[in-house]
Structures are given as structure tokens and as C-alpha cells.
Amino acid sequence: MNKFRENIQTKEIKETEGADKIAQADEVLKKAGDFTFFISKDGLSKLMPPLIMGVAVMTVYISLSHFHVKSLKEKDDLSKELNELRSEYISAKSYLMKRSNQSEVAHRLEAEGVKELRTPPNIIEKEGNK
């Protein structure tokens, strides 16, 4: 019999706890329903500095991200141009090296009538400088 009374008492306690929780939930819902987005002039004057600061920070963040994207594009364009100039330099250098070979110079001068010397040049020494 005692166990039966204890079970009834614990059920009553649980029911009252559940009712308290429901009442608390109803109060929270009422508070949420009473919330309005209208701000008084005093509240607005208090909120203006943080709002202005937030807008300024967002503007700076957006401008920095645009600057970063622009600089990355510029870097990519410059690297492409550098690769093109490097390949042009290498091809021009190899062309000039080929054109400056002794055999190539001799071949080009033959068309003008200048022939390559097959004997070494004579050295003339001045007798007074000894």
C-alpha cells in the first residue's frame, strides 16, 4: 500500500513539474510575441555608432577583397607577359648566337665579295718602341 501511495505522489510531482515547464514556455512565447522591431529615438541614438562602425568595417572588407582579386589578376597577367618576354629573349639570343658564328659571318660576307682569310695576319712591330 505504501508503494502505491508513493507512486501516486511521484506522479503528482511530475505533473506539477510538467505544468511549471509548460507555464515557463508560454511566458517565453509571450515575450517573443511582444517583441517589436520599432526602436525609440533614444535607442536609435544609442545604436547609431555601432551601426556606422559596422557599415564602415564591411565597406573596408569589401574594398580589400576587390583589391586583392584585382591584384591577383594583375599578377597573373604579369607572369604571362614575363613568360612571353622570356621566350622571346631566348629565341632572339639563339638567333644572334647563330648569326655571329664565324662560318655564318663568312657565308654572309661571301655574297659581298669578302673572303675569309686562311692564313694568319702579319704582325707589324714598330722598332722605336722596344
- pTM metric for this prediction: 0.47
Burial of 96 (0-12, 13-18, 19+ CB in 10 A): exposed
Q: What is the CA radius of gyration of the chain?
A: 47
The pLDDT profile of the chain, 130 residues, written as one tens digit per residue, is 455 555 555 555 556 667 777 778 778 777 777 666 677 777 778 888 999 999 999 999 999 999 999 999 999 999 999 999 999 999 999 999 998 888 888 888 888 888 888 888 888 888 875 5
99 to each of 6, 87, 107, how far by Cα in Å? 112, 18, 10
Type of residue at 71: S
Helix (H) or strand (E) holding 114: none
